[in-house]
A and B are shown apart, each in its own frame.
Chain A
Amino acid sequence: MQQGGDIGATRPVLDVRRLKTVFNLGSAEVHAVNDVSFHVRRGELLGVVGESGSGKSVTMMSLVGLLASPPAEVRGGEVLLDGIDILKLTPRALSDIRGARIGFVFQDPMTSLNPVLTVGDQLAEPLIRHKGMDRRRAAARAVELLEMVGIPDARARMSGYPHQFSGGMRQRVMIAIALACEPDLLIADEPTTALDVTIQAQIIDLMQDLRQKLGMAVIWITHDLGVVAEIADRVMVMYGGQVVEEAPVRDLFAAPRHPYTRALLRTVPALDGARLHRLNTIEGQPPILFEAPGACSFRHRCDHADAQCACVNPDCCKVAAARDATDDPKSGHFVACHHVPALPGAEARAVAVDA
């Protein structure tokens, strides 16, 4: 496992600033993404974790206009892709970026491929669309891509339909589609959640391998903290449509600062079997926000909550430099909590293990 250091100083491929996404449901509004800021650098893997409903998927889909609008509305913020704000682009120009410079892999490979089109056809589409290839050249390239993601007998399987592939194979096809145009950034939204454990491991290995080969940035959404510890360079923890903590992976696991992150780490069975999912028994789901958060959204489930938490929403501030320190102001350990100074970071690990 090798992290950060040498890539720390490169400028971000993607730099998201104060992104706000709201679902306008007519009678009500759901504030799903609230002032979310983050960045990924070339060759870096950013892990995104958080409970179901914390806004991970909505955040990533807002970046490139993948949410149906209405009801979704991106209300503010900037999404800088190599310095250019892609939120300001026309829908047509944005579609030039999707699939070409930003690739997507989704959770469920069973439903993510079109059942009535051949795999070869679906794989050739982005090549024809973005690379201006004709059918024949696109088909030839598609075979190479299938071989690259480890599908045996690729040429023959081009004319197969998705239902003739196993779940793991379909996810490989999805990855091949996402990587077809050699994007700068790959966004993988729980790419292994729907697969069984051995297949999960294979897909993770494949992604690691391809990442090394192609050198793209990756955003990897997952519920599996074990996977994050293994593959991520940096981790971003989301709660209630906000980033509550963000740090290099070792710093986060060694010294989690936010009470939510600590609770989340406690739910990992390997640390303490007896306290498995204790958090979930405190209080069901993360809140559904019908207005922009004016207070800490974790306060109802937090042991440290006080009057300040109920009236001021904490900003996400830098509380420590990254251990592999660089002079990049963007790197470091960021936490959105009023009580960080009161929670000594050095003891955090002890808290995570036996609190």
Chain B
Amino acid sequence: MLTYALRRLLLAIPTLLLISLIIFLMVDLAPGSPMSEIPRSIPPEARQKMIEALGADQPVLVRYLLWLRQFFLIEPAYLIDGWFGTSLGGGAQRILSWQSRAPVFDVIGQRLGQTMTVIGAGYVIAVLIAVPIGVYSAYRHYSWFDQVGTFIAMIGYSVPTFFTGVLLIVIFAVNLGWFPSYYDTSLTVTDFATFKRQVWQMALPVTVLALFHAAEISRYTRSSMLDNLGQDYVRTARAKGLLEPQVVLKHALRNSLIPVVTVLALGMPSIFGGSIIVEQVFKVNGIGAALIGAIVANDLPMVQTLTFIFAVLIVVFNLVADLLYGMLDPRIRYE
């Protein structure tokens, strides 16, 4: 399995290189320039100087190769320096944001924490409520519990998060005043009072995310479970006299979770994408917000780097899904 994983990773390299080139070119071809935001009153010579300072006057291919070198060699070197206090980077030029002039990876590092807390909490809560609901709906399918569950899941799945987000803000923040209406990024948890504030401000965005994903995951779990409950081996388990919890939770659930886990792993990158909207609605200053800000300001290095990171995540989680599948299902062996 290890060799399988390594081979898959090696095979991923050319794929990722191609993706990076395409992303780079597409973003570059898009209309607009980093200078379009600068007032017209600035003289053309000064304008030209600023463009040169950003390196934006270089041909696209040169900028691509430079970016590749920075992304794959220089940035990892700085990352290691940051961890172990070494100086591998040796003062080489990092990928700089055109907008803030700060290294792109520093910005990402600052933003990632916020995103992970909110999205991570939303996703974990979604799984925790969705799996039991899915299992029970399948076990008692067409019962009132299942009918209600189906209805709620349908709503949760079909109503977009920006709508539920705004709805929750209007009800719980504006009218009832129970929760803050936006997320205070500068808050750091030092004691119980700030911890409580943190939980309070996370409540609404996490709820929105959890509802949306729970709807989806519970549907997957239900249909997978329903499939398995009708299988012959479940009948065998009952014929052995096993008690229902064991029949359902040991025999059927174990098999049902195989596709669910795979879907969860495959969906991991897209929740980053999906969270962009939730971050906008609740003013969470995370990765999504960084991406939107960069697009608006034509900050090409930032957009290219973030987009490419999403691409890497997709490739990595595809591999993770494959490996998980192999670990959970003994019928699958990777040579």
Contact = CB atoms under 8 A, between A and B. Distances in A.
B233 A111 contact: yes
Interface in B118-154: none
A239 interface: no
A115 interface: yes
Interface string B86-111: 00000000000000000000000000
A163 B235 CA distance: 18
A114 interface: yes
B49 interface: no
A97 B330 contact: no
26 contacts: A95-B238, A95-B242, A95-B243, A96-B241, A99-B242, A103-B239, A106-B232, A106-B236, A108-B232, A112-B232, A114-B236, A114-B255, A115-B330, A116-B258, A116-B328, A117-B251, A125-B237, A125-B240, A126-B240, A126-B241, A126-B242, A129-B240, A129-B243, A163-B331, A177-B236, A178-B239
B241 A99 contact: yes
Interface in B243-283: 243, 246, 250-251, 254-255, 258
Nearest to B257: A116
A129 B240 CA distance: 9
Nearest to B240: A99
B185 interface: no
Contacts of B250: 117
Interface string A82-116: 00000000001001111110011010100111111
B52 interface: no
Given A99-B242, A126-B241, 15 more contacts: A95-B238, A98-B239, A104-B239, A106-B232, A111-B231, A114-B236, A114-B251, A115-B233, A115-B331, A116-B330, A125-B240, A126-B242, A129-B240, A161-B331, A174-B236
A103 B329 CA distance: 28
A66 interface: yes
Interface string A225-259: 00000000000000000000000000000000000
Interface string A308-334: 000000000000000000000000000
Nearest to A92: B243
A111 B232 contact: yes
Interface in B217-239: 231-233, 235-239
A217 B82 CA distance: 75
Contacts of B255: 114-116
Given A111-B231, A114-B251, A114-B255, A66 B238 contact: yes
Contacts of A95: 238, 241-243
Interface in A119-159: 125-126, 129-130
Contacts of B240: 98-99, 125-126, 129, 177
Interface residues of A, number: 29
Contacts, number: 78
A82 to B, nearest CB: 17
Given A111-B233, A117-B254, A174-B236, A161 B330 contact: yes
Interface string A56-94: 000000001010000000000000000000000000100
A264 B232 CA distance: 29
A112 B254 contact: no
Contact of B237 (A108, A111, A114, A163): A114
Nearest to B250: A117
A21 B245 CA distance: 26
Nearest to A163: B331
Contacts of B233: 111-115
Given A104-B236, A106-B232, A174-B236, A116 B242 contact: no
A99 B241 CA distance: 5
A63 B172 CA distance: 56
A108 B235 CA distance: 12
A64 B238 CA distance: 10
